[in-house]
Amino acid sequence: MRFLSDDEDLSVAVLGFGYVGSCIAATLADRGLDVTGIDADPRLVEELENGYNRFQEAELGETMFRAMGAGKLRVTTDTSALGAADVVLITVGTPVLDDGSLADEQLRGACTELATHLRKGQLVVVKSTVPPGTTRRIVLPLLEESGLTGGVDFGLAFTPERLAEGTAMKELRTFPVVAGGLGIESAENVAEFWRRSLGVEVIPLDSMEAAEIVKLADNWWIDLNIALANELAKFCAIHGVDVLDVVAAANSMTKGTGNINILLPSVGVGGSCLTKDPWMVWESAGRHGVDIRTAVAGREVNAGMPEYTAHLAIDTLERLGKDPATATIAVVGLAFKNNTGDLRATPTRAVVEEFRKTGADVRIHDPLVDAEQAAELFDLPLTENIEDAVRDADCIAVLALHRDFEDIDFATLPVNDSCLVLDGRAYYPKATIAALRELGYVYQGIGRGDTPADLGTVA
């Protein structure tokens, strides 16, 4: 049986209208498909109905509301819309528990709901990140409670979502889609769906498990690679060497099918994916008696970076003769990375905590994050503007360089003398660092700055 209509006007239901679901739904609707977003959170739906988009993602708001205005996209809590769709995408959250195992309530809830509306000929595509075997062992039996048989009456496939926050909308239109299906028909139909709907390259794999592992392999590699960059930064710091010079030069070498590609060090890794997916690998392998040590190593190194970064600042303040206990520290950029408002697992939280342990007066500012969420997470109010954050500051910690911060005029900021600029993710070029020093600032980056000439000798 074919699980994809030849109809030009394909209809899609996106089950789980969070970060990923909203980006996909908006992109598909923008490309002319008829899309219904379904989410269990009535507040989220109400916000959207009132024209508010809680996800700070470039191009998302305008694309989504344009599609809604054109009647191509609607969002609802009503799951009956599931039965009308040609294709159902599952994009619910898949967090992990403390032991690294999948917290599968959202996935189970979505599948149970879908089973009550499932009909013959539909194609169900799981996009949430899951340990290998989950689509076959959890999703399939729950859907088959409908009385229909997977691969016979309805199609089932796994195609991971590989977008990164901040660049999600562009990546959705360009990244190849990896696809594994339950049987040949599902596999062929899901490949055709993504080619038709997004116009992107599809990489077919032999099984759903292979596609599930691809997503985990991507994030395992990214997290471990960043851990390498972070340790390289610590190594460079011993010698007063700028890690960015080392990374750029090291990456000029060809290896395998591409170049060496060491990523950038930073204040730490956050967000909802990289902080959990390596644990998913570790836990699911462990259940089969295989100990995956690189996943753990990457996690441990990266989880230690906020503390390392905070102490770079605290130590530098002390070397400048300033007592951290009476210092004023402005933390600018709280999201887990540049140009997103996402605070999930943000490493900046642990930095702020370390600063506060010293007794310092800590102020926080980020125009992209939700003020209520930030106040709860940091136990501090956001300052209205950057000037209020940095007034009389002894340290400005730039922990996420959003576009709004790119034009900060350091010359006019009302800071204290010898104010430290702590660069957690700004990657200021050398010319900017030199200009900051000209203005009387002290610069400290991760594996950067702090040369022997700046602050005494480095052995």
Ligand X SMILES: NC(=O)c1ccc[n+]([C@@H]2O[C@H](COP(=O)([O-])OP(=O)(O)OC[C@H]3O[C@@H](n4cnc5c(N)ncnc54)[C@H](O)[C@@H]3O)[C@@H](O)[C@H]2O)c1
Q: Of 35-43, 196-204, 367-375, 382-390, which segment contacts ligand X by CB under 6 A?
A: 35-43
338 makes contact with ligand X (CB under 6 A): no
The piece of 86-94, 135-143, 188-196, 408-416 that touches ligand X (CB under 6 A) is 86-94
CB of 323 to ligand X, least distance (A): 40
Please report, for residues 233, 241, 268, the alpha-carbon distance to residue 370 in angstroms, rounded to integers and kept in the order given: 32, 38, 21
19 binds ligand X (CB under 6 A): yes
Q: Which is nearer to ligand X, 158 or 443 (CB)?
A: 158
Quick one: 91 or 135, whose CB is closer to ligand X?
91
Residue 104 within binding range of ligand X, rule CB under 6 A: no
Stretch that binds ligand X, among 102-110, 117-125, 172-180, 303-311 (CB under 6 A): 102-110
- Give residues 237-256 in contact with ligand X (rule: CB under 6 A): none
Cβ closest to ligand X, residue 128 vs residue 346 = 128
Shortest Å, Cβ 241 to ligand X: 33
316-to-168, 281, 359, 408, 456 alpha-carbon distances in Å: 37, 38, 16, 22, 11
- Smallest gap, in angstroms, from Cβ of residue 196 to ligand X? 22
322-345 exposure pattern, b = at least 16 Cβ within 10 A, e = fewer: bebeebbbbbbbbbbbbbbbbbbb
325 by DSSP, 3-state: which? helix
User: According to DSSP H, which parts of 4-104 are helical?
Assistant: 19-30, 42-49, 60-69
Q: From CA 73, how far away is CA 316, in angstroms rounded? A: 52
Cα 373-377-380 angle, rounded to 5 deg: 95
**Dihedral angle of Cα 274, 280, 283, 284, to the nearest 10 degrees:** -150
Query: Among 93, 180, 265, 449, which residue interacts with ligand X (rule: CB under 6 A)?
Result: 93
Taking contact as CB under 6 A, which single stretch among the options 12-20, 26-34, 205-213, 394-402 is the one that binds ligand X? Answer: 12-20
Spell out, one character per residue from 40 to 79, where the chain touches ligand X: x when CB under 6 A holds, - when not.
xx--x-----------------------------------
Which H or E element spans position 203? Answer: strand 202-204
Given the rule CB under 6 A, which of 65-73, 107-115, 198-206, 233-241 is the region that contacts ligand X?
A: 107-115
Alpha carbons 233 and 451: distance in angstroms, whole number: 13
Torsion angle of alpha carbons 334, 338, 340, 342, nearest 10°? -40
Count of residues interacting with ligand X (CB under 6 A): 27
Q: How far is CA 419 from the centre of its chain?
A: 31
Report long-range pairs for 150-153 (Cβ below 8 Å, ≥24 apart): 150/182, 150/186, 151/182, 151/183, 151/185, 151/186, 152/1, 153/1, 153/120, 153/121
Binding window for ligand X (CB under 6 A); candidates: 34-42, 220-228, 254-262, 409-417: 34-42
- Does residue number 18 form part of the binding site for ligand X (CB under 6 A)? yes
Which of 110, 198, 211, 343 is in the footprint of ligand X by CB under 6 A? 110
Between residues 40 and 241, which has the closer beta carbon with respect to ligand X? 40
| Spatial CA neighbour of 16 closest among 106, 87, 81, 95 | 106
Out of 36, 56, 128, 230, name the contact with ligand X by CB under 6 A. Answer: 128
By C-beta, is 316 or 340 nearer to ligand X?
Answer: 340
Is 20 among the residues that bind ligand X (CB under 6 A)? Answer: yes
Query: DSSP E strands: which ranges in 321-386?
Result: 328-332, 361-365
Tokens of 375: 């106040």
Nearer to ligand X, 77 or 418 (CB): 77
CB closer to ligand X, 275 vs 444: 275
Q: Which of 113, 218, 361, 454 binds ligand X (CB under 6 A)?
A: 113
User: Of the candidates 61, 83, 109, 367, which one interacts with ligand X according to CB under 6 A?
Assistant: 109
For every residue of 111-159, DSSP letters joined together read: HHHHHTT--TT-EEEE-S---TTHIIIIIHHHHHTTS--BTTTBEEEE-
Binding site for ligand X (CB under 6 A): 15-21, 38-41, 44, 91-94, 106, 109-110, 113, 128-129, 161, 163, 165, 272-273
